[in-house]
Amino acid sequence: MKNVLVIYYSQSGQLESIARNIAMPLLNSSVVNVLFHEIELVKPFPFPWNNDAFFGAFPESFLQIPTLLKPVPENIMNTKFDLILLHYQVWYLTPSVPVNSFLKSPEAKILLNNTPVVTINGSRNMWIMAQEKVKVLLKQNNALLKGNIALVDRVGNLISVITIVEWMFSGVKKRYLGIFPLPGVSEKDINESSKFGEVILSCLQENNLDTLQEKLLDIDAVRVSSYLVTVDKTANKIFTKWSNFIVNKGESRKSWLKVFKVYLLLAIWLISPIVYILHVLLYPFKIKKIKKEIEYYKGIK
């Protein structure tokens, strides 16, 4: 009997749906025991979000400052797992505060120690640098990263900004104004994600998780956009300066967060299109470097 732990944090329910669909083949197997753990905060973030909470979460999110979590149940802590499926969202180009807090907890150090892990993210589109940060945290916990799955909103970058923000602030997943596409990871991709679970189950039964990522890539588990990699890296440099500047501003923090909000909107609607144009123009001259980057980010090293 193989023991598998499914870890997730979900506000809207999207990531829980992804987690349960991927786990479905494992749940249907007579040789796998699956346990679920939903990360819970002592002081939960609101959903739907309000303006102050959404932008107020920026400095701590990006700087990966943990918050208090409710304890992991004893039955989970007392089980030795053969595999952990770690699901996370991306907040401000970084693993969400709840997931980051879990990965920095004493419980994670015990559960992840010398344990194979598959990371699974459900995000708007920019997940590359967040995954690099997750890799660091997994290494600190002596975890063994064996696979990665990235499920993203497949619509255009600027359109997804509009639809995701509407969803986060209304709490309702709908076609904004009746004309925009549904926000988030598509229902088709979520429903079909059980195919990843089938591959995970096969490798687990064969005791051969070292070939898992290669097999996941064969069924489209990861797509990498070289343009979004460029935006992600650039934005991380800028966010580093903003977050360090705002985090200790005390009484003036709210005022500076308003300034950051204006900057962020300008960056999304003015700077990112310019970055895209430059990326297209320079692509022929950087094609070898770009291909190398794409292969790296598709992998798990």
pLDDT in tens, 128-173: 999 999 999 999 999 999 999 999 999 988 899 999 999 999 999 9
Closest C-alpha among 25, 7, 10 to residue 193: 25
Tokens of 117: 């892990």
Other residues' Cβ atoms within 10 Å of the Cβ of residue 299: 13
Pair 35, 75: CB distance under 8 Å: yes
Give residue 202's pLDDT: 97
pLDDT at 272 exceeding the cut of 90: no
pLDDT at 283: 85
Q: Each residue of 27-59: pLDDT tens digit?
A: 999 999 999 999 999 999 999 999 999 999 999
In the three-class reduction of DSSP (H, G, I as helix; E, B as strand; rest coil), residue 124 is classed as coil
**pLDDT average, residue stretch 260-287:** 89
Report pLDDT digits (tens) over 11-27.
Answer: 999 999 999 999 999 99
Residue 273 has pLDDT above 90, yes or no: no
> Exposed, middle or buried by CB within 10 Å (0-12, 13-18, 19+), for 155?
buried
Tell me what percent of the residues of the chain surpass a pLDDT of 70: 100
Decide: 95 and 103 in contact? Cβ < 8 Å: yes
Give the Cα separation of 153 and 184 in Å (integer): 5
Q: What is the mean pLDDT of the chain?
A: 96
The answer to whether residue 183 scores a pLDDT higher than 90 is yes
Q: Is the pTM of this model over 0.85?
A: yes
pLDDT digits (tens, 9 = 90+) for 204-213: 999 999 999 9
* Strand ranges (E), the chain: 2-8, 32-38, 83-88, 90-91, 94-95, 116-123, 144-152
